[in-house]
């Protein structure tokens, strides 16, 4: 039996949330903080009932506590099957994980989010989770869209990797910015800073992503670009769709007469791309996108059906469409007193388009794993971490003459002082970027909500029901008439106990999996 959950609480920040909390320590409700709290709970004879009760949120740094009533209703008849009041449960409350996607905010929830992101992205390429297995045969490409340059930064460029694990890459890099002495661009800049760097930077070199000269760097253009990236992406998806439509005409493919829900007939192109993408904040603090583009066919009666495109389409057509869009899509922002003509927004020159194939270099599992990794990050790579900024704290983070991130925040704040550009202030803590870190087109794959609901959230109610961890036919509906009771663990002791139990469970799980793998 699987179940839907309807809770009368706002969904907790699963996408771009507020800025980082300064510490990873479990947060604790304000009303208790005694040192002996762990002792009290641990020696309570009901401690195992309590641990069972909080299991779903046990690893969370900052769970949401809810109180009220949970009712189980038969979906077909509307009959009330059971009802449980939280006042009869341990602590009189239900614990729900915070659900934050960011590793730096809640490692446990971020792990869950990353797993879901992987499942979601992979299902779009290999099928499963309600997506037909035939998607594995659709043409699909993996594209990296980068931003243009806003000034020279220290980079690490490895021509040929010989390392086994790219995450622990220790390969010898090329010199950062080599120039012949006779090259006129090798001269120091007007601020006296060198424009050449012969260092072969290591993977963890803090200079990576830093400009060679902070004063030469175009901070205004970079934050405006970050802010415009979602719009640039939107236009890019339109350009890819148009390019494929033109290609369908060239191939002489007939348009499909599709019957809409209202019974109207409309003529649509015979193939359509669907997208899954994540944003990555690079070390130089500019966003770039990693995207999966898949080509689908059009079903005449079911607009939601995912079917193969006409056989005349090949993966080359998708490569051509993505490359064309990356090279041609551009627009100019609205004017700003600091830039009367507005800023021109386009992708950088380094666009990488690769076919995804089950037997190729880029497989569905690799791509999904790669993208899911970025889905739990935010601005960490840039060294800037803060919550949403306001006039009171801005001076702590913004400095026109300060470090690279300080100058970016300053550019957001200064440009955002203009009435038409206020949104730049709103997103100053994200260095201008106000988009989502993971998005997908509706048809690409399943949703986070479906994946989340399929998991056990309320594992056990007073009636002792276990809600199965699967997506079978949904026969019951769980309606939570719950109100927010608080957030965080009640005591430091509770946090310790629950987090430790979760860590031990995870460890057991991992050991079991390794042993199973060894036997297999």
- Binding interface with Zn ion (CB under 5 A): 60, 97-98, 106, 109, 154, 161, 163, 169, 171, 176, 189, 191, 193, 197, 199, 213, 215-216
Closest distance to Zn ion from the beta carbon of 63 (Å): 7
- The DSSP bridge partners found for residue 297 are 271, 307
CB 414 within 8 A of CB 401: no
Closest distance to Zn ion from the beta carbon of 196 (Å): 9
Judged by CB, which is closer to Zn ion: 145, or 458? Answer: 458
> Please, which residues have CB within 8 angstroms of residue 407's CB and are 6 or more apart in sequence?
214, 217, 219, 399, 400, 401
Q: What Rg do the C-alpha atoms of the chain give, in angstroms?
A: 26
Task: Give dist(CA 63, CA 50) in Å, integer.
Answer: 15
Closest distance to Zn ion from the beta carbon of 24 (Å): 11
Q: How far is CA 71 from CA 251, 450, 462, in A?
A: 56, 20, 11
Write out the two tokens for 340: 């009367």
Judged by CB, which is closer to Zn ion: 258, or 487? Answer: 487
Among 290, 424, 266, residue whose Cα is nearest residue 352:
290
In the numeric block, the tokens 């993505």 are attached to 322
**What burial letters (b/e) apply to 414-443, b meaning 16+ CB within 10 Å?**
bbbeeeebeebbebbbbbbbebebbbbbeb
The stretches of 416-490 forming alpha helices (DSSP H) are 423-426, 448-454
Judged by CB, which is closer to Zn ion: 197, or 248? Answer: 197
Closest distance to Zn ion from the beta carbon of 97 (Å): 5
Closest distance to Zn ion from the beta carbon of 216 (Å): 3
Closest distance to Zn ion from the beta carbon of 29 (Å): 15
Write out the two tokens for 177: 């910015």
- For residue 475, the number of C-alpha atoms closer than 13 Å in the C-beta half-sphere is 7
Judged by CB, which is closer to Zn ion: 64, or 291? Answer: 64
Task: Give dist(CA 155, CA 212) in Å, integer.
Answer: 10
Instruction: Give the burial class of 322: count Cβ atoms within 10 A of its Cβ; 0-12 exposed, 13-18 middle, 19 or more buried.
Output: buried
Judged by CB, which is closer to Zn ion: 197, or 286? Answer: 197
Closest distance to Zn ion from the beta carbon of 163 (Å): 3
Judged by CB, which is closer to Zn ion: 59, or 127? Answer: 59
Among 240, 345, 343, 367, residue whose Cα is nearest residue 287:
345
CB-nearest residue to Zn ion: 176
Closest distance to Zn ion from the beta carbon of 297 (Å): 40
Judged by CB, which is closer to Zn ion: 267, or 401? Answer: 401
Among 227, 240, 274, 285, residue whose Cα is nearest residue 426:
227
Closest distance to Zn ion from the beta carbon of 37 (Å): 20
DSSP secondary structure, 289-304, as one string? EEEEEEEEE--SS-TT
DSSP secondary structure, 209-241, as one string? T-BS-TTTS-HHHHHHHHHHHHHHHHHHHHHHH
Helix (H, G, I), strand (E, B) or coil at 410: helix
Judged by CB, which is closer to Zn ion: 103, or 138? Answer: 103
Judged by CB, which is closer to Zn ion: 155, or 471? Answer: 155
What pairing do the DSSP bridges indicate for beta strands 80-85 and 2-7? unpaired
DSSP classification of residue 333: P
Closest distance to Zn ion from the beta carbon of 107 (Å): 8
Task: Give dist(CA 166, CA 56) in Å, integer.
Answer: 34
Closest distance to Zn ion from the beta carbon of 62 (Å): 6
Judged by CB, which is closer to Zn ion: 191, or 419? Answer: 191
Judged by CB, which is closer to Zn ion: 189, or 477? Answer: 189
Closest distance to Zn ion from the beta carbon of 418 (Å): 26
- The DSSP bridge partners found for residue 128 are 131
Judged by CB, which is closer to Zn ion: 382, or 445? Answer: 382
């Amino acid at each position: 039996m699987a179940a839907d959950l309807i809770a009368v609480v706002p969904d907790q920040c699963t996408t771009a949330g507020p800025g980082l909390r300064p510490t990873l320590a479990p947060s604790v409700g304000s009303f208790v903080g005694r040192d002996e709290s762990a002792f009290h709970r641990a020696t309570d004879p009901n401690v195992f009932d309590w641990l069972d009760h909080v299991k779903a949120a046990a690893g969370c740094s900052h769970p949401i506590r809810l109180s009220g009533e949970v009712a189980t209703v038969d979906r077909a008849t509307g009959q009330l099957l059971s009802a449980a009041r939280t006042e009869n449960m341990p602590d009189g409350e239900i614990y729900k994980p915070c659900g934050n996607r960011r590793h730096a905010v809640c490692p446990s929830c971020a792990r869950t989010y990353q797993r879901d992101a992987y499942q979601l992205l992979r299902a779009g390429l290999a099928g499963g989770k309600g997506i037909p297995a035939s998607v594995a045969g659709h043409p699909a490409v993996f594209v990296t869209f980068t931003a243009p340059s806003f000034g020279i930064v220290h980079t690490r460029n490895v021509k040929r990797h010989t390392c086994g694990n790219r995450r622990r890459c220790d390969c010898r890099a090329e010199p950062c910015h080599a120039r012949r002495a006779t090259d006129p661009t090798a001269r120091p800049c007007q601020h006296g800073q060198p424009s050449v760097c012969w260092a072969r930077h290591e993977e963890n070199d803090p200079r990576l992503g830093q400009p060679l000269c902070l004063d030469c760097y175009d901070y205004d253009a970079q934050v405006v670009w970050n802010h415009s990236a979602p719009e640039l992406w939107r236009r890019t998806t339109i350009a890819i769709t148009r390019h494929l439509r033109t290609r369908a005409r060239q191939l002489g493919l007939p348009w499909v007469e599709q019957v809409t829900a209202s019974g109207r007939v409309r003529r649509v192109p015979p193939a359509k791309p669907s997208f899954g993408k994540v944003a990555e904040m690079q070390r130089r603090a500019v966003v770039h996108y990693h995207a999966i583009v898949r080509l689908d066919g059009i079903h005449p009666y079911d607009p939601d059906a995912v079917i193969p495109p006409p056989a005349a389409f090949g993966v080359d057509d998708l490569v051509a469409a993505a490359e064309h869009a990356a090279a041609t899509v551009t627009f100019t922002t609205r004017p700003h007193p600091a830039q009367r003509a507005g800023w021109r927004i386009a992708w950088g020159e380094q666009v990488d388009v690769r076919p995804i194939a089950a037997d190729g270099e880029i497989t569905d599992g690799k791509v999904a794993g790669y993208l899911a990794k970025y889905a739990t990050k935010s601005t960490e790579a840039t060294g800037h971490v803060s919550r949403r900024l306001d006039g009171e704290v801005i001076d702590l983070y913004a400095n026109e003459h300060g470090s690279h991130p300080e100058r970016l925040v300053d550019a957001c704040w200064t440009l955002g002082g203009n009435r038409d550009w206020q949104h730049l202030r709103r997103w100053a803590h994200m260095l201008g970027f106000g988009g989502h870190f993971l998005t997908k087109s509706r048809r690409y794959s399943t949703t986070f909500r479906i994946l989340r609901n399929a998991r056990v959230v309320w594992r056990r109610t007073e009636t002792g029901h276990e809600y199965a961890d699967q997506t079978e036919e949904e026969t019951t509906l769980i309606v939570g008439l719950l109100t927010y009771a608080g957030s965080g663990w009640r005591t430091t002791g509770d946090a310790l106990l629950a987090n430790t139990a979760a860590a031990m469970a995870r460890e057991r799980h991992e050991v079991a999996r390794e042993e199973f793998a060894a036997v297999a």
